[in-house]
Structure 1
């Protein structure tokens, strides 16, 4: 939480906020004199009286706030840019959703699909060699929105596992309007995961480490693969649904895209 910043004088009249005062070890960065504990109340009053537009005004935010409220708002502003959701590398690109979709397609060569159902097969020749790696990131366009499907292998403690999950390319509040299901199986058995997609505001690592998705242990994955258990073959299917509220009945209706 961003709190009101106190401002302090040094002996030569330079001022510094309380946060920066700690960062420079209580020494003025301009004249190198030690900062005292004398507050600059006049500047604090000026900061309180300022009304400024959100930093993300150019991205569509219409809000105007007093200075300290502005700082609090910008931390959660729905118009703030999104980080690149690609998980295969540390990508520093930021931008709005249309920009990120084009970036994923053009720079990361991510597969793009239209429709709310999917059917993927993942094959690995040596399933006992499990390194932390993203195998696939696919972007789906349905209900006029974009969703990222992740599938990867990583170590959970000492055990190798495979995990699939969906992220929504938008904010968390919007993500709650949708749900999804994932299914993997073989040999007459199957595992099913049902959940709500996480917003890409949550990093890929945060979602993975929270285990919020379909997790398949290696032995189960090999059982699903059939054959001699020397090659991993996983068949993952799924669908994305939209939750609509019926105001008359007070209930939610789940719908598939056409």
Structure 2
């Protein structure tokens, strides 16, 4: 979980504690408030210490239970402020790409079902070291961030161990354009396409490809990941968005399912990859 996100959650917890301690009818203990709300006592502690994300219903109950219902709007605004959290690349990359890769490694460890859409390049979880090296080098140049490319590549390769974990499942969709983008030397892309073909045989991976000739219901826009159908991660040029509010997650799920309708799988996906490989060789 992002440091900024956690800090915002802890700040909300501090505010919740203030409301409990300043209840108009008299200071409430955590045990007393939990009893009043019909909650297990650990829930009060977790919310106040930023170890659990409150729901709007939790905040309403807390405001009413502490005798300060007018505080609900403020609490809800705080929650909405970090449910869709912006993490700027400038701040994230201050120490290089490895810390970012490590953050995603931790997020992967906590989830079991992944849905991804990528229109421009091969997913990091399926990249070869040379392809990843090219991508990370170019992004470091763009963001003018410290060069720790080899450490970042190793962290990205470490994440790929999840592909062989039977408890995890990856439902991935690529646009064919991602197979043809020369964001690396042709020889590196050739090896990457071979790697991609091999991924189709993994029992933890469902890889769909949308051909350039496919009919689309929506434009093939911004890439995103969905973790356990409850968290969305979107990368933009200036920041990374971590989104957890239910309506926004639901929108991304609908988007992913709509894109999936245009994708091909199995042997048909192999044919699209093979065509890109032949085009690369000038055949």
Q: Would you say same fold, with TM above 0.5?
A: no
Q: Kindly indicate whether structure 1 or structure 2 has the higher relative contact order, using CA contacts under 8 Å at least 6 residues apart.
A: 2
**Larger strand share, 1 or 2:** 1
TM-score with structure 2 setting the length: 0.30
Larger radius of gyration: 1
Q: Which has the higher helix share?
A: 2
